[in-house]
Amino acid sequence: MATSMLEKEFEYYLEHQDEFISKYRGKVIVLKNQEVQGVYDSEIEAIQETAKKFPVGSFLVQRCSPGEESETYHSRVAFA
């Protein structure tokens, strides 16, 4: 179930990628419930700070970079 939820968050990111890149290029954003929950300088910071508010595995960590430079970090994987 969590994977499906994270897939939906990633689809939301892809649908709004240009907008996110124009606002947050080079930053890391956290998506939950199709909303930006935070903007950070690193994936580790994003996970650590967001895990204080939401359960690990319930949010998507996404670096805002165009095309193939983009990397996705599912919060449940980062602590595995």
Q: Report CA-CA distances (Å) from 14 to 18, 34, 77, 80.
A: 8, 11, 20, 25
Phi, psi values for residue 27, rounded to 5° = -95, 170
In contact, 35 and 60? CB cutoff 8 Å: no
pLDDT in tens, 34-79: 999 999 999 999 999 999 999 999 999 999 988 754 555 555 544 4
What pTM did the predictor assign? 0.81
